[in-house]
């Protein structure tokens, strides 16, 4: 069997580095075609020297110059490129088999769609790309015959609990009553409104069960992550928001469930380690070692479930409403959230203001319809400007 050629979009992040850790367990089965990152050229340089990809791409031109000089001095053959067009090119190249979409935020939309349009096997971690483009994304998957496999642990769980499929584009939900999306509840699950008002970025990025990038960590703390995942599940599995229930499950051992009309409930369990869903998507329908710890049932103190509290965590309700509203509302939700989370991480707004900014932006921009990607990205920009304007007026 010839080795599969892999491009990783977002190689230096939490998912990107864990993907490389899984690939390292299987050197005969996979080789790296291209590594893509934002601006962290030093880590990308180390990865290039270890993996010797054909291409390394950075979003940032200045960082790309530094990387090019560094790799040249180290005698590396990796070609360094920069910018959005180069990212799309290494995602769509005829020599690529698998694209791991792990850029954070709407910045991943175009390169991920480029992989889809080239009919690749696309391992989707970048949930924002799907939240922003929704129907356009799924239409492109079907039109171009791409194989779409979820990396998000909840969606990987649901995918594994459904009748055997080769791709999300094949989903038929005969007999399914509802999807049960589990949520850890984040680091502030037990905080009251008063305590939530005072939480800091440092507290928010320290997740109890998972080690993730700063943006998704804040999303987990507000429960916006679960809201984005609810939207992601609607598109991946072709269900309405009303068919998805969110369950808070602080141990993060049951990664999600599917309930069937006969009363049967299928769950997927495992230790909270993203290498499991990454390995699952890489090899599907085969199974390969991931390096993750085995789940030790004797060590489990118990499995606990509770309802999410949307009064303390309104982002979950906002996401559900945006999906129900349809059109570009989910793109507006995502853009406002990205701006608000960035402002929170920069110490410019408080934790509770994140939901306030998203709510205000959604109310002002509402559910517009958009026919193509350019229209969606224009709404994304409009929503960002509106969210920044609101924050400057209210907190500036
Ligand atoms: P991260 O912040 O650790 O990494 C983000 C990666 O994207 C980095 O490599 C960064 O260089 C790159 N990047 C940022 N802006 C870019 C740009 N403009 N152009 C090109 N590259 C850019 O984030 P993460 O935790 O790895 O999450 C990545 C994605 O996976 C997110 O969409 C997140 O929601 C999703 N996800 C993550 C986890 C997890 O456990 N970390 C779990 C499920 C889903
Ligand atoms: Mg998840």
Distances in Å between the Cα of 267 and the Cα atoms of 113, 223, 258 are 30, 21, 7
Residue 366: pLDDT above 90? no
User: What ligand 1 atom has the least distance to the C-alpha of 105?
Assistant: 32
- The string of pLDDT tens digits covering residues 170-183 is 887 889 999 999 99
Tell me if 227 CB under 6 Å of ligand 1.
no
Pick the residue whose CA is nearest to atom 36 on ligand 1.
125
Distance 32 CA to ligand 2 centre (A): 25
Tell me the CA–centroid distance for residue 154 and ligand 2, in Å: 5
**Closest to 47 (Cα-Cα) out of 78, 69, 88:** 78
pLDDT at 359 exceeding the cut of 80: yes
> 115 falls in which pLDDT band (50, 70, 90)?
very high
Could you identify the atom of ligand 1 that is nearest to the CA of residue 153? 43
What is the pLDDT averaged over residues 275-301? 96
Mean pLDDT for all residues in the chain:
96
pLDDT in tens, 314-356: 999 999 999 999 999 999 999 999 999 999 999 999 999 999 9
With cut-offs at 50, 70 and 90, classify the pLDDT of residue 373.
very high
Instruction: Work out the average pLDDT over 212-233.
Output: 97
Q: What is the mean pLDDT of residues 16-24?
A: 98
Determine the pLDDT at residue 92. Answer: 98
Confidence check: pLDDT of 185 > 90: yes
pLDDT value of residue 226: 98
Residue nearest (by alpha carbon) to ligand 1 atom 15: 38
Top-confidence residue, 337 or 164: 337
Predicted local distance difference test score (pLDDT) of residue 98: 98
Binding site per annotation, positions: 12-15, 38, 126-128, 152-154, 184, 207, 213, 220, 225-226, 229
Please, what is the Cα angle at 227 between 352 and 17, to 5 degrees? Answer: 95
Which parts are annotated binding residues for 1-deoxy-D-xylulose 5-phosphate? 127, 153-154, 184, 207, 220, 225-226, 229
For residue 165, pLDDT over 90 is answered with no
CA-CA distances (angstroms) from residue 136 to 109, 120, 140, 142?
11, 16, 6, 10
Q: pLDDT at residue 364 above 90? A: yes
pTM of the predicted model as reported, rounded to 2 decimal places: 0.98
ipTM rounded to 2 decimals: 0.99
**Ligand 1 pocket, residue 59 CB under 6 Å:** yes
Q: Nearest bound ligand to CA 20?
A: 1
| Binding site membership of 103 for ligand 1 (Cβ less than 6 Å) | yes
**Residue 255 CB less than 6 A away from ligand 1:** no
Residue nearest to atom 16 of ligand 1 (CA): 38
**Residues comprising the binding site for Mn(2+)?**
152, 154, 229
Domains and CATH numbers, the chain: 4-150 (3.40.50.720), 152-315 (no CATH), 326-396 (1.10.1740.10)
Q: Could you read off the pLDDT of 290-304 as tens digits, one per residue? A: 999 999 999 988 999
For the chain, the three-class secondary structure string (H helix, E strand, C coil) is CCCEEEEEECCCCHHHHHHHHHHHCCCCCEEEEEEEECCCHHHHHHHHHHHCCCEEEECCHHHHHHHHHHHHHCCCCCEEEECHHHHHHHHHCCCCCEEEECCCCHHHHHHHHHHHHCCCEEEECCHHHHHHHHHHHHHHHHHCCCEEEECCHHHHHHHHHCCCCCCHHHCCCCCEEEEEEEECCCCCCCCCHHHHHCCCHHHHCCCCCCCCCHHHHHHHHHCHHHHHHHHHHHHHHCCCHHHEEEEECCCCCEEEEEEECCCCEEEEECCCCCHHHHHHHHHCCCCCCCCCCCCCHHHCCCCCCECCCCCCCHHHHHHHHHHHHCCCHHHHHHHHHHHHHHHHHCCCCCCCHHHHHHHHHHHHHCCCCCCCHHHHHHHHHHHHHHHHHHHHHHHC
Mean pLDDT of 219-225: 98
Per cent of the chain over pLDDT 90 is: 92
- Rg of the Cα atoms in the chain: 20
In this prediction, residues 62-91 reach a mean pLDDT of: 98
Tokens representing 68? 């090019």
Judged by its nearest atom, the ligand closest to the C-alpha of residue 209 is: 1
Ligand 1 within 6 A of 212 CB? yes
pLDDT of residue 140: 98
Site to substitute for ligand 1 among 216, 218, 377, most atoms within 8 A of C-beta: 216
Residue of 104, 127, 157, 280 to test ligand 1 pocket, by largest number of atoms within 8 Å of CB: 104
Residue 32 has pLDDT above 90, yes or no: yes
Atom 20 in ligand 1: residue holding the nearest Cα: 38
Question: How far is ligand 2, taken at its centre, from the CA of residue 212, in Å?
Answer: 10
* Ligand in nearest proximity to the CA of 36: 1
pLDDT in tens, 252-272: 999 999 999 999 999 999 999
Long-range contacts of 292-295 (CB under 8 A, 24+ apart): 295/253, 295/269, 295/270, 295/271
pLDDT digit string (tens) for 127-158?
999 999 999 999 999 999 999 999 999 999 99
Rounded CA-CA distance 348/178 in Å is 40
Q: How far is the CA of 101 from the centre of ligand 1 (A)?
A: 9
CA distance 288 to 279: 6
- State which ligand 1 atom lies nearest to the alpha carbon of 126: 32
The Å distance, Cα 1 to ligand 2 centre, comes to 32
Residue 377: phi and psi, rounded to 5, are: -70, -30
> Which residues 6+ apart lie within 8 Å of 142 measured at CB?
169
């Amino acid at each position: 069997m010839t080795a599969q050629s892999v491009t990783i979009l977002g190689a230096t992040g939490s998912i990107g580095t864990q993907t490389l850790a899984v690939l390292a367990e299987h050197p005969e089965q996979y080789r790296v075609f291209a590594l893509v990152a934002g601006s962290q050229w030093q880590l990308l340089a180390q990865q290039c020297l270890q993996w010797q990809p054909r291409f390394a791409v950075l979003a940032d031109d200045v960082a790309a110059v530094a990387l090019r000089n560094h790799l040249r001095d180290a005698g590396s053959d990796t070609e360094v490129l920069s910018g959005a067009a180069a990212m799309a090119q290494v995602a769509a190249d005829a020599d690529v088999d698998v694209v791991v979409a792990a850029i954070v935020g709407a910045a991943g939309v175009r390169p991920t769609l480029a992989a889809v349009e080239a009919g690749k096997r696309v391992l989707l971690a970048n949930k924002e790309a799907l939240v922003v483009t929704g129907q356009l994304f799924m239409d492109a998957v079907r039109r171009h015959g791409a194989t779409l496999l979820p990396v998000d642990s909840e969606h990987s769980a649901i995918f594994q609990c459904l009748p055997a499929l080769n791709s999300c584009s094949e989903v038929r939900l005969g007999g399914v009553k509802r999807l049960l999306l589990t949520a850890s509840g984040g680091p502030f699950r037990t905080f009251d409104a008063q305590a939530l008002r005072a939480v800091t970025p440092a507290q928010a990025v320290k997740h109890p069960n998972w080690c993730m990038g700063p943006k998704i960590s804040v999303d987990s703390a507000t429960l916006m992550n679960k809201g984005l995942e609810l939207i992601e599940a609607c598109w991946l599995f072709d269900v309405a928001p009303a068919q998805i229930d969110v369950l808070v499950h602080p141990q993060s051992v049951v990664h999600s469930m599917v309930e069937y009309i006969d009363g049967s409930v299928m769950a997927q369990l495992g230790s909270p380690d993203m290498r499991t869903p990454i390995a699952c998507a890489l090899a599907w329908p085969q199974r390969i070692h991931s390096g993750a710890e085995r789940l030790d049932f004797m060590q489990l103190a118990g499995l606990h479930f509770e309802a999410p509290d949307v009064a303390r965590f309104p982002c979950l309700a906002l996401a559900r409403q945006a999906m129900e509203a349809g059109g570009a509302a989910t793109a507006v939700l995502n853009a406002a959230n990205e701006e608000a989370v960035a402002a929170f991480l920069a110490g410019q707004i408080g934790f509770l203001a994140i939901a306030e900014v998203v709510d205000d932006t959604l109310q002002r921009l509402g559910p517009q319809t958009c026919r193509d990607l350019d229209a969606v990205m224009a709404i994304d920009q409009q929503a960002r400007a509106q969210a920044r304007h609101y924050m400057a007026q209210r907190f500036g």
